Structure 1
């Protein structure tokens, strides 16, 4: 079971109205987009974080570990925004690379700060929803909101595919690790290559098994979704 999925079923907000949680999370995202204010974004981050940690009782270490994944990608994007190259710019900090001057200006720093707070507030709102609401409850909400069946089915299949991918990756990795496959740089490279190759093979096999299972259950292109 995914860590996110585990907390979605065991948190203290598990039995609260899923529609209210969906609207609350969407409201947080829309507030950030509409007001375009760093202070609003920070307020959303604080509120969502308190709800996740203090109310839903998600372990703080686990929550911040989950945040590290999107924040790593965010950091790369922010660096490319705040570091500019212009002959007419007044830099707060600058450095020379390949005989060209790059640096950080006050405007690029403000732009980077706004983008960072907006993205983090949106991530916090999204994590509040997925850490407190299981997929089954979300599907019921999507049905009530009259979301197209095709989109709901894609969500279900994608969610299942993620589980298959992670399960197969973990099984192969553990088997390799037990045989000292990652002992040394050369062994690690070989093991990674084998892992990727076997992972694709295993995913195709599991996909075929899933199709066979759906056929046995008389799947006709539409899941029987509960109300």
Structure 2
């Protein structure tokens, strides 16, 4: 069972029908996409304490989960905020010479980046509310009632299973290296993380091969 599912099975509103929570989730997502930045900020500030209370979730854990996608969001926003032009213009906030042109940041690009940032985090907050209050088994039952394609449901189950295998292998290998005092210094930690990544990649390939063989046997019947 994944960590998120452990919270989902012990949340305070577990007895509320999943369909009602799913409809509430759709309303939250609609507000996240259609509202302005101020409303999105208020939305995040109001919904976050509710999530922690309902899911029995500590603030530190919740903040860590919010920070997890931050590197990917920042990389995406940088590509949106910075543009390349061959001509320098006075209507830019910042320009840096780059080869035969300039890397520039415009007011429009900065405003678009700001909108996307808060929209992403308001959608992420709404998604956390849904996954922390609806266990995966209830999600599958709900999606069957909504007549989602069977193939899509099977892909969801396979992805869930693969994530579970990945986290389980990572935790076991990390704890094993930790017991061997492999994270003492920066050099040891750097070397241990490289070893962990290589071994984890190998084990995931083996697990993926076993899963593929099982699926082939299933569809051969």
Give the alignment's TM-score, normalised by structure 2: 0.80
2:31 corresponds in structure 1 to 31
1:116 corresponds in structure 2 to 117
Does 1:76 find its partner at 2:75? Answer: yes
CA distance in 2, matches of 1:46, 1:186: 40
CA distance in 1, matches of 2:197, 2:110: 40
Aligned partners of 2:11 and 2:56 also within 8 Å: yes
CA deviation profile, 1:113-152 (whole Å, cap 9, x unmatched)? 1111211111111111111111011011001000111111
Change (3 A) 1:67 1:85: same
Aligned partners of 2:95 and 2:105 also within 8 Å: no
Aligned partners of 1:29 and 1:125 also within 8 Å: yes
1:45 corresponds in structure 2 to 44
2:158 corresponds in structure 1 to 157
CA distance in 2, matches of 1:26, 1:5: 20
**Aligned residue pair count:** 216
Give the alignment's TM-score, normalised by structure 1: 0.78
5+ unaligned residues in a row in structure 2: which ranges? none
1:224 corresponds in structure 2 to none
Change (3 A) 1:211 1:98: closer
CA distance in 2, matches of 1:55, 1:61: 15
Aligned-residue CA RMSD in angstroms?
A: 3.1
Change (3 A) 1:185 1:156: same
Aligned partners of 2:7 and 2:56 also within 8 Å: no
CA distance in 2, matches of 1:32, 1:129: 14
CA distance in 2, matches of 1:83, 1:72: 16
Aligned residue for 1:41, secondary structure, equals helix
Tell me by how many angstroms 1:97 deviates.
5.2
Does 1:144 find its partner at 2:139? Answer: no
2:178 corresponds in structure 1 to 177
Change (3 A) 1:62 1:191: closer
Tell me by how many angstroms 1:27 deviates.
2.2
CA distance in 2, matches of 1:81, 1:210: 38
Tell me by how many angstroms 1:153 deviates.
1.3
Tell me by how many angstroms 1:105 deviates.
3.4
Aligned residue for 1:119, secondary structure, equals helix
Range moving further from structure 2, 62-71 or 169-178: 169-178
Change (3 A) 1:56 1:192: closer
